[in-house]
């Protein structure tokens, strides 16, 4: 009898170990597949196709320069979105054969964007409006089909994953009631998986080098702030910062030194802003300060303070003794501005104006004159 109970217990322990091992393996294999995030990206991408159709319709009805500019900005967003989604697909656990046709269509559409840009340029110059409509419709229809199919594929993959995880969880829970000794190990495993998910979520929101917000998280925060702005009327502002001739530091002292300079700059920027403001690294040597409830005057004063801070920043390591400068573009939300993308586009234009006007300066007025002048 004792031998029979010992054998039964040993069998139960073995089954428990097998169930827990299977659970851990499957959980770890799927923990990196953030289908919710991918579905969100695809839903946003579907809106690009709708916006493309609406913008083309607007251009067909009116050749207003504003519509031309909107289409130029939209093509830039579409290209970034295609690249982001294709990269996410390649990193996912979805079988390559399942999404290969969609991937090929997206790559084809990306290759057609330059043709659409040329057609837009010709249209803006008063030539061949039919070409713009033909290429635009081809791209719009391709985007609509690709993202619709991809949305369905992701939901199917997500549902399959959920079913698998539910079955594994049920098996572990049922066996855990019998094999009490395995409960502690199972709880530690679940905690580890949870921590890994939290770490991945944090990494998806931050720049790995500086620890600042990344571009994607900045867009999410700004979208929420714009919704609040529409209710409260307190306009947000945006400061775009691009370091002048930063490549020279990398070339002269190496990329590790350049990275150390970027980290030092990130810390300095964080010290200059309010607790409610967001500091983000957009990529390379480009940074952004998003300022909720901040008028143009306040944003320009902060931008000038930041410019002076950068110019006086003591650079680390081998870059000590070098002088760092930056060009800054400032924009504040106003009537008729429908979202963060419009605010970003305005700040970006002023940033390039600052560079064109000599660098190491702030541009924040609509008339073309800088509020502050560069220092020698």
Could you read off the pLDDT of 128-168 as tens digits, one per residue?
778 888 888 888 888 888 878 888 877 777 777 666 666 66
241's enclosing H/E stretch is: strand 237-243
Separation of first and last alpha carbons in the chain: 94
Is 12 part of a structural domain of the chain? no
The predicted-structure confidence for 25-45, as pLDDT tens digits, reads as follows 665 555 445 566 777 777 777
Helix 65-91 and helix 340-356, axial crossing angle in degrees, nearest 10: 100
Task: Indicate whether 259 and 144 sit together in one domain.
Answer: no
| Four-residue CA torsion sign, 306, 312, 314, 318 | positive
Is 292 part of a structural domain of the chain? yes
Task: Indicate whether 255 and 281 sit together in one domain.
Answer: yes
Residues 6 or more apart from 59 whose CB is under 8 A from it? Answer: 67, 68, 71, 123, 129, 132
What pLDDT, on the 0 to 100 scale, is given for residue 290? 96
Structural domain range at position 113: 35-205
| Maximum CA extent, the chain | 95
Q: How many domains does the chain contain in total?
A: 2
Task: Indicate whether 242 and 183 sit together in one domain.
Answer: no
pLDDT over threshold 70, residue 118 = yes
Q: Is 285 a catalytic residue?
A: yes
Task: Indicate whether 226 and 258 sit together in one domain.
Answer: yes
pLDDT band at 203 (very low <50, low <70, confident <90, very high): low
What pLDDT, on the 0 to 100 scale, is given for residue 372? 46
Catalytic choice (285, 296, 341, 363): 285
Supply the DSSP string of 211-229, one letter for each residue.
-SB-HHHHHHHHHHHHHHH
Task: Indicate whether 305 and 339 sit together in one domain.
Answer: yes
């Amino acid at each position: 009898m004792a031998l029979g109970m010992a054998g039964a217990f040993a069998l139960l322990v073995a089954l428990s170990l097998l169930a827990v091992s299977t659970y851990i393996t499957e959980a770890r294999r799927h923990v990196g597949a953030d289908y919710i995030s991918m579905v969100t990206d695809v839903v946003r991408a579907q809106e690009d196709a709708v916006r493309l159709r609406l913008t083309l319709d607007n251009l067909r009805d009116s050749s207003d320069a504003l519509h031309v500019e909107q289409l130029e900005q939209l093509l830039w967003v579409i290209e970034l979105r295609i690249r982001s989604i294709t990269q996410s697909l390649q990193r996912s656990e979805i079988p390559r054969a399942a999404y290969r046709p969609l991937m090929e269509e997206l790559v084809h559409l990306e290759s057609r964007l330059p043709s659409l840009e040329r057609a837009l340029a010709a249209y803006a110059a008063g030539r061949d409006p039919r070409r713009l409509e033909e290429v635009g419709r081809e791209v719009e229809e391709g985007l609509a089909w690709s993202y619709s199919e991809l949305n369905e594929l992701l939901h199917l993959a997500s549902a399959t994953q959920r079913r698998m995880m539910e079955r594994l969880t049920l098996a572990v829970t049922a066996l855990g009631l019998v094999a009490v000794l395995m409960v502690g190990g199972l709880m530690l495993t679940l905690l580890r998986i949870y921590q890994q998910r939290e770490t991945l979520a944090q990494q998806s929101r931050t720049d790995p080098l500086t620890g600042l917000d990344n571009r994607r998280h900045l867009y999410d925060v700004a979208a929420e702030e714009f919704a609040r702005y529409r209710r409260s009327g307190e306009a947000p502002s945006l400061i775009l910062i691009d370091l002048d001739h930063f490549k020279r530091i990398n070339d002269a002292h190496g990329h590790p030194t350049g990275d150390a300079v970027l980290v030092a700059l990130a810390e300095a920027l964080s010290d200059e802003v309010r607790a409610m403001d967001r500091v983000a690294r957009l990529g390379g040597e480009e940074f952004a300060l998003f300022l909720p409830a901040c008028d143009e005057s306040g944003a320009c004063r902060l931008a000038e303070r930041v410019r002076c801070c950068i110019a006086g920043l003591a650079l680390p390591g081998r870059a000590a003794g070098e002088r760092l400068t930056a060009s800054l573009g400032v924009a504040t939300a106003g009537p008729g501005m429908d979202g963060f993308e419009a605010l970003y586009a305005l700040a970006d234009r002023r940033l390039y104006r600052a560079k064109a006007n000599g660098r190491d300066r702030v541009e924040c007025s609509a008339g073309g004159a800088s509020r502050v002048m560069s220092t020698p």
